[in-house]
């Protein structure tokens, strides 16, 4: 039987799977790369960045949606990556990659 709550849950699960796939792709192509190469690929990090962490933004849908990709560095090598999604400037979910754990990708919802 159709219910709005089940529809919302299914829709949210699909979005979460798609976001995990996006993060997986980013992790596979960028984990353990030097900071300089990350900056060549993603551009200049935003102002929240520091010595051990860099944030890069991707905007879509007329500025309503934004992905923020965070790279954590150890000796200028990317050792961890996470993805935060924003809707109208409000963070909705953050997905973290956990090497050698199950599940590898964990989602934390903030809305």
Q: How many independent structural domains does the chain possess?
A: 1
Output the furthest CA–CA distance in the chain (Å, rounded): 54
Q: CB within 8 A of 107, min separation 6: which ones?
A: 16, 19, 20, 93, 94, 95
Which domain, by its residues, includes 65? 4-109
pLDDT recorded at residue 95: 93
Per-residue pLDDT tens digits for 22-77: 999 999 999 999 999 999 999 999 999 999 999 999 988 777 889 999 999 999 99
pLDDT at 105: 87
pLDDT digits (tens, 9 = 90+) for 86-99: 988 888 889 999 88
């Amino acid at each position: 039987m159709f219910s709005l709550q089940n529809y919302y849950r299914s829709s949210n699960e699909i979005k979460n799977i798609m976001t995990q796939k996006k993060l997986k792709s980013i992790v596979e192509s960028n984990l353990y790369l030097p900071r300089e190469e990350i900056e060549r690929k993603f551009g200049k990090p935003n102002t929240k960045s520091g010595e051990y962490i860099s944030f890069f933004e991707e905007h879509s849908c007329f500025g309503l949606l934004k992905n923020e990709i965070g790279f954590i560095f150890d000796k200028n090598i990317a050792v961890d990556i996470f993805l935060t999604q924003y809707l109208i400037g409000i963070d909705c979910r953050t997905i973290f990659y956990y090497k050698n754990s199950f599940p590898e990708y964990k989602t934390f919802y903030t809305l």
